[in-house]
């Protein structure tokens, strides 16, 4: 598959400024400083909503993992990216997954503070992912 990862990232893995960005979180908006304490109260079941979302996405779409050398690898099993709560909490930022969904022309990447980011060009990507996000009890909004 010939997909231009440069469409989403520059050579330093900084997002392309022409991409739109949508946040997927446990909350309906950014927490802000006054609600930052909620980050410390996230339960294992709440965190697992992200794993549930990944399973739903994997069942519906072909998903590729973007490697640090800008190559992509087809994921044959969602279990390759699903982590236990303990492993996820100790995962360094440099190891966050970047997942390409070619049919939606978007990338979903892990981020900090119980957030995933969708990088996309066409609102179709978010329209297609929105029901899956809602089904898991997560929220999404432009960031």
Burial 67-96 (b: 16+ CB within 10 A, else e): eeeeebeebeeeeebbbeeeebeeeeeeee
pLDDT in tens, 60-90: 999 999 988 788 899 999 998 998 888 888 8
Has residue 11 been placed in a domain? Answer: no
Work out how many domains the chain is built from and give that number. Answer: 1
pLDDT in tens, 98-113: 999 999 999 999 998 8
pTM score: 0.91
DSSP bridge pairs for 108 = 99, 118
The DSSP secondary-structure symbol of 51 reads H
Has residue 66 been placed in a domain? Answer: yes
Has residue 136 been placed in a domain? Answer: yes
Q: Looking at residue 1, what is its pLDDT?
A: 52
* Spatial distance between the Cα atoms of 58 and 65, rounded to a whole number of angstroms: 12
Has residue 63 been placed in a domain? Answer: yes
Domain containing 28 equals 18-142
Q: Which two tokens stand for residue 121?
A: 């060009």
Has residue 28 been placed in a domain? Answer: yes
């Amino acid at each position: 598959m010939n997909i231009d990862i440069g469409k989403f990232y520059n050579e330093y893995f900084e997002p392309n400024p022409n991409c739109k960005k949508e946040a997927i979180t446990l909350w309906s908006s950014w927490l802000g400083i006054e609600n930052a304490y909620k980050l410390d109260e996230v339960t294992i079941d709440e965190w697992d909503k992200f794993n549930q979302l990944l399973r739903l996405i994997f069942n519906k779409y072909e998903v590729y993992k973007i490697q640090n050398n800008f190559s992509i690898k087809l994921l044959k099993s969602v279990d390759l990216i699903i982590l236990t709560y303990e492993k996820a909490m100790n995962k360094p930022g440099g190891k966050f997954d970047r997942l390409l969904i070619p049919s939606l022309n978007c990338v979903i990447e892990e981020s900090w503070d119980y957030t995933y980011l969708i990088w996309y060009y066409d609102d179709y990507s978010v329209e297609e992912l929105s029901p899956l996000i809602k089904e898991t009890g997560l929220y999404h909004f432009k960031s």
